[in-house]
A and B are shown apart, each in its own frame.
Chain A
Amino acid sequence: MNLALSDEQAMVRDMVRRFLADRYDAATMAKGPMSPDDWRALGELGLFALLAPEQAGGLGGGAVEVMIVSEEMGRALAITPLTEAVLLCGRAIAGDPVARRWGDRLMQGEALLAFAPGGAMTDGRLCGSGGIVRDGMDADAFVVETEAGALLLIDGQDSGVRRMPVRLVDGSMAAHVRFDAVHAVPLTIPGSAWAEAQALAGLSIVAELVGAMATLLDLTVDYVRQRHQFGKPIASFQVVQHRCARMYTWLEQSRSLLLKSALAEEEERVRAVTAARAYIGDAALKLAEEAVQLHGGMGVTDELAVGRGLRRVLLLSRLHGGGTAARAALAA
């Protein structure tokens, strides 16, 4: 047993951390989605290739790499399409020769893929609603999981793809997507590989949440130290100390479940990730709400990272039904 990062893993973490630290500080965190230029720069640095399977020409990074990268993204409250585009769509198309041209551009950060659950094949064409699709306005192509469970690839340029912009609570632009007789390419991916891709996507979300929790706790501890009321720092009040200490316990418990799911054997992974989502979905939102409360009025403004961080945590913690759906899945 060993919980230390390898040299290579530490290098990846440092690279991502430096990249993000050069671009985001408390004043700019979570102000909006990462710029396309920065996203492309991450592609050029090889970050997406690192996380892509070897059969798609990637380096085959696994759960630990996903955890490292996503936690850093969360720590900077960076708003990116990493989970859906790189992990879910990237893996969905990895084994498919036809889809390969998208995979290369995706790894370079030049093309964006979005994931749309919904729709059905009728007379050889995709029809129906794709629902609210994250990053769906900017997507060049979509991976669709139909109601019948088939995986398809469609080109965003297809005239049958209808998109309405929907701004989400973290400021990112989703699309409300409808498919109107869209040409679709069936993707061939073994069920186990798709389950693994979904597990890694779930892991990425909880890792981002843990990173965000760490930042929100840091910001809160800094704030209560410098905010004075009644002639002393509010950090000197026991009630404030205890609240911060409680936040710390939520963070550490969350990190434990994150590590457990990243280090789980492959056959245990789905359950471990679901368990992490079940706990962290609630813990992250509670922590973010406490961070806002301890910042007082400043916490509810758009001016501080803590209020914007609550928005990002709200979105990430509620995706795919959040902790509620995860607990229902565990109980089933």
Chain B
Amino acid sequence: MDLALGPEQHAFREEVRAFLAASLSPALRRGAALTSGVFAEPDIAREWQAILEAKGWLVYHWPDHAGGPGWTPVQRWIFEKECAEAGAPVLPGMGLKLVGPVLYTYGTPAQKDHYLPRLRSAEHVWAQGFSEPGSGSDLASLRTRAVRDGDHYVVSGHKIWTTQAQYANWLFALVRTDPHVKPQQGISFLLIDMALPGVMVKPILSASGDHELNEVFLDEVRVPVSDRVGDEGQGWSIAKFLLENERGGSSFAPAILADLARLRTSTGPLTGELADRALRLQLEAEALEMTELRTLIEIEHGAAPDPRSLTTKLLASEIRQGVEALAVDAFGLAGLQLPVERPFYGDDMPAPVGSAQAQVAAARYLNARAWSIFGGTSEIQLTLIAKAALGL
């Protein structure tokens, strides 16, 4: 047993570091540090996506047969860790992390050839149409209908919590193609061009004042049958595959540890309870990093994923929320600023009191409350863990 990087891994890390030092501009770093939401905004995301794509590292987590660089799990982790420490923007995951793997795993050759290059070039920007007003934790109860009409499905329904749908031009959605079977068996997975007649996006303002979320209304949208991924009725299996990627596809701890380190730099030394909280969070995050690494190393050596991988999204949510709450407290009254202007790195932002990090702290705290809700609530995660890890 050892945790040391081998010579090749070491060289790889140096290569990643050199690339980040050369490619990650101060403007991108600043934009990433002052992003209040979960994902980078399009101005920053597009620029960083193009830089990564030019280098061949955009789809670093895809297998080589799908166009990825063919990295091992540990190489992917090294890349994520270095990106986090360098303060790189967090690219929206709906395309790269969610629908991309679905397409190269379940898509037809024609679908792969058409959609994957456009996803990488950002010609297509994807949004996720899973949740509905009445179907959150109980996703299988979803009611968006898709009725076959010749070579098309006629799709009607109401999706909600659609992150960055205002910037997207394609929606992947779970729809009900068969209302007469068990709920899970009647679901299919469709790719929907948001320019089609009948698609309407309505913003949802977050308590933070950010606009990240939307409702998407589908009114008799005619979707070609050729834009169904997998078989009719296979949507639930595909959704489970996708959700596993959403919850455990990449490591959470590196970004948390990097943000905690940056927080301590911007607040100066913490004392008393604040120092104690920072230390506890640091220890939790270090433990999570090792938990994530254990699973990666085992997979690299050929083992199947251990059920402990189900714990990481839950734990990351709690630690992330703790870090953002600590930031608010560490900045004092300045941590309670909440301007209405966006983005925080933009020219319209009023001069901050204290620092720009203090100015964004309350918005980040409020948005971080969503961590224990999106991608499966913490309550759902605990139920999954009890079942899968403990057999309860």
| Chain A interface residues toward B at CB < 8 A | 131-132, 164-169, 171, 176, 228-231, 239-240, 285, 289, 292-293, 296-297, 299-303, 307-308, 310-311, 314-315, 318-319, 321-322, 324, 327-328
Contacts and interface: CB of A to CB of B under 8 A. Distances in A.
22 contacts: A132-B333, A132-B336, A132-B353, A166-B337, A167-B340, A168-B336, A169-B362, A229-B135, A230-B138, A285-B325, A293-B372, A296-B377, A297-B131, A297-B136, A297-B161, A300-B207, A300-B373, A310-B366, A315-B336, A318-B328, A324-B272, A324-B273
B339 A301 contact: no
Contacts of A240: 379
A263 B225 CA distance: 72
A239 B379 contact: yes
Contacts of B134: 228
Given A296-B377, A297-B161, 17 more contacts: A132-B333, A164-B353, A169-B338, A229-B136, A229-B137, A297-B131, A300-B366, A301-B205, A301-B213, A307-B207, A310-B207, A310-B369, A311-B338, A314-B328, A314-B366, A318-B335, A324-B274
Contact of A297 (B160, B272, B338): B160
Contacts of A176: 353
A307 B210 CA distance: 13
Contacts of A301: 204-207, 213
Contacts of A166: 337, 350, 353
Contacts of A231: 138, 141
Contacts of B373: 293, 296-297, 299-300
Contacts of B213: 297, 301
B136 A165 contact: no
Nearest to A293: B372
A328 B206 contact: no
Interface residues of B, number: 46
B351 interface: yes
A132 B161 CA distance: 35
A96 B160 CA distance: 58
Interface string B335-353: 1111110000000001101
A302 B207 contact: yes
Given A166-B353, A297-B136, A324 B377 contact: no
B365 interface: yes
B370 interface: yes
A297 B372 CA distance: 10
B316 interface: no
Interface string B302-333: 00000000000000000001000100110011
Given A132-B334, A293-B369, A296-B137, A303 B273 contact: no
B206 A302 contact: yes
B351 to A, nearest CB: 7
B136 to A, nearest CB: 5
Interface in B110-147: 131, 134-138, 141
Contact of A303 (B205, B333, B366): B205
Given A297-B136, A311-B366, A318-B328, A169 B336 contact: yes
Contact of A314 (B206, B272, B273, B362): B362
